[in-house]
Amino acid sequence: MLITKNIELVRRERWADPGQTWGFVPTMGALHEGHLSLVRCARAENSRVAASIYVNPTQFAPTEDLDAYPRQLERDLELLRAEGVDLVFTPSDTEMYPPGFQTYVSVENVTRVLEGASRPTHFRGVATVVAKLFNIVQPTRAYFGQKDAQQTVVIRQMVRDLNFPVDVIVCPIVREPDGLAMSSRNQYLHGETRTAATVLYRALMAVQSAFEHGERNAETLRALMRDTIAAEKLARLDYVSVANPDTLQELDTIADSALCSLAVFFGKTRLIDNIILEESE
Ligand code: PAF
């Protein structure tokens, strides 16, 4: 496994044999089963696999957890090696944002709602770093988790709008046995807060059950999520949403599918989760 901070070396390795297909898993490290499931998909569908580990400062607001974000490079590299990854790109901040850097990718409508409303500069940072990583690694396919549902919509939109020659593949959420979606930020949760954090999944399951029993009114489903969160005293709701999965606009009535998502604070830790509701064939 080649581990490098060097952009030229990544490109050289990528094009050493142009006949190979490359799957790429961009990460911010602190790897868990969710990331490893992306690596396994990439491994199954490509002849080579690249990953990146980079805690991207431009997607954190000054008030957010950039400094506290978990960093465990040696452990992450071991996990990637065990999955048979061929190349890991671990750039420094000056490699990614050298002095004089001044070009950003700004995706418009789909970044204004949900996570973007609560974190107004977040997706500009994500789109910019992902565009750079795509240009550096030049993968055949890139793998993202459904857990960050809006991020997948933003990246698909950017790839379409800017004609990146990359297939974006979205893989299912991986959950703990009690339903909590895997996240590097789960490391901030302990004791009764960790137990309380299952309320996101419980709220989504309540919505799914109501949908399966015929409920199609989006506001009723949003209210169900709000009520479930309100019943958990350690949780503070940021938002709930029942939206069109492509445009992310809030729905009145669910016609064929909906992205149900929510963000909840536990102290300073903010968790997100989602499910897609779909009419069965
Ligand atoms: O999902 C993440 O971990 C990050 O947003 C990403 C895609 C690696 C960009 O920094």
The pLDDT assigned to 164 comes to 98
Token representation of residue 110: 């789909």
- Shared domain check, 156 and 23: yes
Residue 228's CATH number? 3.30.1300.10
Q: Which residues have a Cβ under 8 Å from the Cβ of 29 and sit 6 or more positions away?
A: 53, 54, 55, 70, 71, 72, 73, 76, 184
Question: What is the rounded (10 degree) CA torsion for 30, 271, 125, 260?
Answer: 130
- Shared domain check, 139 and 196: no
- Shared domain check, 80 and 9: yes
pLDDT average, residue stretch 259-274: 96
Q: Is it the case that residue 14 has pLDDT exceeding 80?
A: yes
For residue 116, report the distance from its CA to the centre of ligand 1, in Å.
15
Number of domains within the chain:
2
Q: Which residues have a Cβ under 8 Å from the Cβ of 268 and sit 6 or more positions away?
A: 65, 188
Residue 29's CATH number? 3.40.50.620
DSSP string, 217-267: BHHHHHHHHHHHHHT-TT-EEEEEEEE-TTT-PBPSB-SSEEEEEEEEEET
* Domain boundary, last residue among 171, 194, 216: 171
Q: Is the CB of 56 under 6 A from ligand 1?
A: yes
Residue 281 lies in a domain: no
Give catalytic status of residue 35 as yes or no. yes
Domain hosting 19: range is 2-171
pTM value? 0.96
CA-proximal residue: ligand 1, atom 9 (nearest) = 126
Percent of the chain with pLDDT over 90: 96
Confidence bin at 280 (pLDDT 50/70/90): confident
The pLDDT assigned to 65 comes to 85
- Cβ atoms of residues 23 and 49 within 8 Å: yes
Residue 177 lies in a domain: no
Q: Is the CB of 25 under 6 A from ligand 1?
A: no
Residue 21 lies in a domain: yes
For residue 199, report the distance from its CA to the centre of ligand 1, in Å.
25
Specify the ligand 1 atom closest to the Cα of 27.
8
pLDDT average, residue stretch 89-115: 98
- Shared domain check, 211 and 149: no
Condensed to tens digits (0 to 9), the pLDDT of residues 55-80 reads 999 999 998 889 988 899 999 999 99
- Of 28, 38, 132, 134, which is best to mutate to test ligand 1, by the most ligand atoms within 8 angstroms of its C-beta? 28
- Shared domain check, 88 and 149: yes
The one catalytic residue in 35, 122, 190, 213 is 35
- Cβ atoms of residues 2 and 9 within 8 Å: yes
Number of helices followed by number of strands (H, E) in the chain: 10, 9
- Shared domain check, 224 and 156: no
- Shared domain check, 210 and 156: no
pLDDT average, residue stretch 116-131: 96
- ∠ Cα 47 50 54 (to 5°): 170
pLDDT average, residue stretch 219-238: 98
- What's the CA gap between 104 and 279, in Å, rounded? 38
Q: Is it the case that residue 19 has pLDDT exceeding 90?
A: yes
Residue 43 lies in a domain: yes
